[in-house]
Amino acid sequence: MSPIHFYNTRTRTKEVFRPLKNGEVGIYTCGPTVYGPMHIGNVRSQLFADLLRRFLVSEGFAVTHVINITDVGHLVSDADEGEDKMEVAAKREGETAGEIAGRYTELWRSDRRAVNCIEPEHNPKATEHIAEQIELGVKLEEGGYLYRIDDGVYFDIARFPRYTELAGLDLEGQAGAPRIEQVEGKRHPADFAIWKFADPDVRRLQEWDSPWGRGFPGWHLECSAMSSRYLGEHFDIHTGGIDLATVHHTNEVAQSECGFGVHPWVEYWLHNEFLDFGGEKMSKSKGNVKTLSDLAERGYDPLAFRYFFLQAHYRQQQTFNDESMAAAARGHSRLVALAADLRAVEGPGDPDQQAAHRAQFCEAMADDLNAPKALAVLWDVVRSGKLAPADQRDLLLDFDAVLGLDLAHAERPQESYDSDPRIDGLLEEREAARVGRDFATADRIRDELAAEGVELIDTPEGPRWRRT
């Protein structure tokens, strides 16, 4: 087994991975706020955590994976201002918060299944763990970390000197940033809500009694409470999008280390980078929100998006556009076709012939989950003229258990061909030349098309073409 290295956001270094318990790993992944469909940027965060989990399992670890469902407490501003996103969605759609949460939770789970993510061992909802959140809040209050103002109970970051450590924050430089705007009465702009009081003049769908009065928990509290419920007060890995590091994850660390009396609360923090949409922020108002359903309507297999994800390292921004998605879909289709052929191969493989390729694949994944390099090893295997088909089959299926493209079950895609009046015309001209035995003209047209990246395919229905 190659030593496994992960880039740890907390220490800003690539470190050897050493689990707290030999052979066991606990992972907590920030899940969705279920007020709307999951866009493909959110899907990338789920794919990254699934890849991590699959690799650790392949290395023999027993993994306990927890992904939360935020169905209360996430306000429209990270500054603890505005309405709860669940309440906003309920008003918008004329349903209860519970109905909204149930519908979008199931859609989230369906999307995860579509891209072949393994189900987590625990998928807790914030609303089902209010007692644990209150219990942690009481511990923080008893430790002198909280104070009250008119709209709620807040954590005093001045009581936690390591507050800026995880994300390397410059609080003075960020004091005017919109993500940490001042709420009247807060001692510091970055102080965050543990419990928000219900406004007696506003009818909320979700509120509970607490030692501080009737209200609802702050967004950050749930992750600390639920992770400790299922993984303990000190665990191995916490994952999420890089955008969560500066506020949500920073606040999780503060309340957890103070409430549980541990440091570090989490050994390894792994964050994935954004999808790059050419500088455009995804929003419904812009009409550029892309979901798996959007891709499916355009004819893309959801697993082609998983293939797209594997083409870039999780810590690199990845450009998403029509061209990059179409290229990924073509690559995925070719791999599926090869897998379908190899699955039909019978007989045992030769472990000695496979060993070097297994080592290369493991080395790539052990280097901070270098999926592009691991995918390249897979392609080298299926294209190899030196490996026996049985060895190609064994390696492809074992590598795919980590990459998660479900090649053990994928069906050969139906052949699809492109159409363009100019190229279609040239194809007809070439056919006429061949029939007339003018092979020089036929070869010239073939070469011209090849130079344009056009592949000619002879089918029972006649010649067809597609771009390579």
Considering the segment(s) 292-403 as one domain, its CATH architecture is Up-down Bundle (1.20)
* Tally of CA atoms within 13 A in the half-sphere of 274 that contains its CB: 10
What Rg, from alpha-carbon coordinates, does the chain have? 26
Output the pLDDT for position 194. 97
Copy the structure tokens of residue 82: 């505005």
Measure the CA–CA gap between 140 and 138, rounded to whole angstroms.
Answer: 5
Highest averaged pLDDT of the listed ranges 83-92, 126-135, 286-295, 412-421 = 126-135
How would residue 235 be classed by pLDDT, with cut points 50, 70 and 90? very high
Contact 75, 82 (CB under 8 A): yes
**pLDDT digits over 249-280, tens only?**
999 999 999 999 999 999 999 999 999 887 66
Contact 251, 155 (CB under 8 A): yes
In this structure, the number of other CB atoms found within 10 A of the CB of residue 428 comes to 12
How would residue 468 be classed by pLDDT, with cut points 50, 70 and 90? low
Alpha helices (H) along 287-388: 292-297, 302-310, 322-343, 351-366, 371-383
Label the pairing between strands 13-16 and 215-217: unpaired
Contact 464, 432 (CB under 8 A): no
Q: Where are the domains of the chain?
A: 5-272, 292-403, 421-467
Measure the CA–CA gap between 104 and 109, rounded to whole angstroms.
Answer: 9
Is-cis flag, bond preceding 19, omega within 30? Answer: no
pLDDT, average across residues 131-156 = 98
Label the pairing between strands 235-241 and 275-276: unpaired
Say which residue, 68 or 410, is predicted with more confidence: 68
Highest averaged pLDDT of the listed ranges 210-224, 282-296, 405-419 = 210-224
* Type and span of the H or E element at 222: helix 219-231
CATH topology of domain 5-272: Rossmann fold (3.40.50)
DSSP 248: I
Lowest mean pLDDT among 123-137, 293-307, 351-365: 293-307
**pLDDT digits over 147-195, tens only?**
999 999 999 999 999 999 999 998 876 544 444 456 889 999 999 999 9
Contact 307, 331 (CB under 8 A): yes
Task: Summarize the chain as % helix, strand, coil (round to 5).
Answer: 45, 15, 40
Handedness of CA 357, 362, 363, 365 (dihedral sign): positive
Give the full edge-to-edge strand order of the sheet including 235-241. Answer: 62-67, 24-29, 235-241, 266-272
Label the pairing between strands 152-155 and 24-29: unpaired
